[in-house]
Amino acid sequence: MLTSFPSSRTKQHLLKDQNSCIIILIGICCFLGCLLLYFGSQELYKFKTLIIRHCQVKTFDVKHERQSYFPRWNITIIYKNETIDDFLRESVGTRSERWAWTTARKYKINETYLCYHSRNETSIIQWGWQWNQPIELKAYAFLLFAVIFFIIAIVLLIWRQYFKTKLNNTQQPRQLSTLLANEEQQLVSSLQESSRSTYNKSIKRQSKF
Residue 131 domain-assigned?
yes
Enumerate residues 6+ apart whose C-beta is below 8 A from 54: 77, 78, 79, 112, 113, 114, 115
pLDDT digits (tens, 9 = 90+) for 47-78: 888 889 999 999 999 998 888 999 999 999 99
pLDDT digits (tens, 9 = 90+) for 2-45: 455 555 555 555 555 545 677 888 899 999 999 999 999 988 88
Residue 118 domain-assigned?
yes
How many Å apart are CA 105 and CA 168, to the nearest integer? 66
Give the range of the structural domain holding residue 52, as residue numbers without chain letter: 48-140
Sign of CA dihedral 122, 124, 126, 129: negative
Residue 94 domain-assigned?
yes
Reply yes or no on whether the pLDDT at 150 is more than 90. yes
Residue 3 domain-assigned?
no
Domain count, the chain: 1
Buried b (16+ CB within 10 A) or exposed e, 174-204: eeeeeeeeeeeeeeeeeeeeeeeeeeeeeee
pLDDT digits (tens, 9 = 90+) for 108-140: 999 999 999 887 665 566 678 899 888 889 999
Q: Tell me the average pLDDT across 130-156.
A: 92
Residue 107 domain-assigned?
yes
Residue 113 domain-assigned?
yes
How many Å apart are CA 47 and CA 97, to the nearest integer? 30
Query: Can you give the CATH number for the domain in which 95 is found?
Result: 2.40.50
